[in-house]
Structure 1
Amino acid sequence: MSDRWQYLLVLAACLAITAPLELFGSGVYRHPRRLARAVLPVAVVFLIWDMVAVAGKVWTFDASYISGLRIPFGVPIEEVVFFLVIPVCGLLTYNAVSTILDWRNHR
């Protein structure tokens, strides 16, 4: 397999590993509006930051590890997905840990 899919594969693994955490508490995916309000504003800010940095050649991405698909200003699609996937994984983890701690404290 080509290395160019590694970034996307790592992101897919993050989602797969944290997906079962949806079963704890009120869930994250079960509240899409709340999820969007939590993730999208921050994702947009960091995406703009990346666009400026890549366009200004402040940083680049190793072409060996990305698919080659890019959005305007040269930002790889994997970076866009990163700004969505990692916060969702964080919210899933936070929700699960909070729920487990609540269960423990109410015993």
Structure 2
Amino acid sequence: MTHLRYVLLLAACLVGTLPLEFVLGTHVYRRWRRLCTAVLPVAVVFVVWDLLAIRAGWWHYDPNQLIDITLPGRLPIEEVLFFLVIPACAVLTLEAVRVRRPDWLIGDEPEPADP
């Protein structure tokens, strides 16, 4: 069961934030292009980073914690999923804050029009 720990943690993150999509109506998953624009570039950078660190021998993963699906470069699938799931959950949480507290400025609001 320990080999599922990483995947189960990622699944719990998704399940734990999923109500924000439907109960609060954040519409993050409905706007999948916007989500991909936010998540994919960063995921690519970190995947490359991990691949370089693995190749140099600076980074490794405990095989007892993994499900034994390894991508080229000895990168565990769980690591790629981490770089997709956790940022998606963070975006979902941020959008939930926007729904509940629309008066809170986050920093990406459009500039007010000149009167």
TM-score w.r.t. the length of structure 1 is: 0.91
Q: CA offset at residue 25 of structure 1?
A: 4.6
In the other structure, the counterpart of 2:74 is: 74
Counterpart AA for 1:35 = L
Consecutive unaligned residues of structure 2, counting only runs of 5 or more, are 105-115
Structure with bigger gyration radius: 2
Match of 1:20 in 2: 19
CA distance in 1, matches of 2:42, 2:102: 28
Q: What is the match of residue 57 of structure 1?
A: 57
Q: Secondary structure at the match of 1:29?
A: coil
RMSD after superposition: 1.5
Q: Distance in 2 between matches of 1:72 and 1:89?
A: 26
Gaps of 5+ in 1: none
More helix per residue: 1
Q: Which has the larger displacement, 23-32 or 8-17?
A: 23-32
2:30 maps to 30
List 4+ stretches of structure 1 deviating above 3 A.
none
- In 2, Cα distance between the equivalents of 1:87 and 1:70? 21
Identity of aligned residues (%): 48
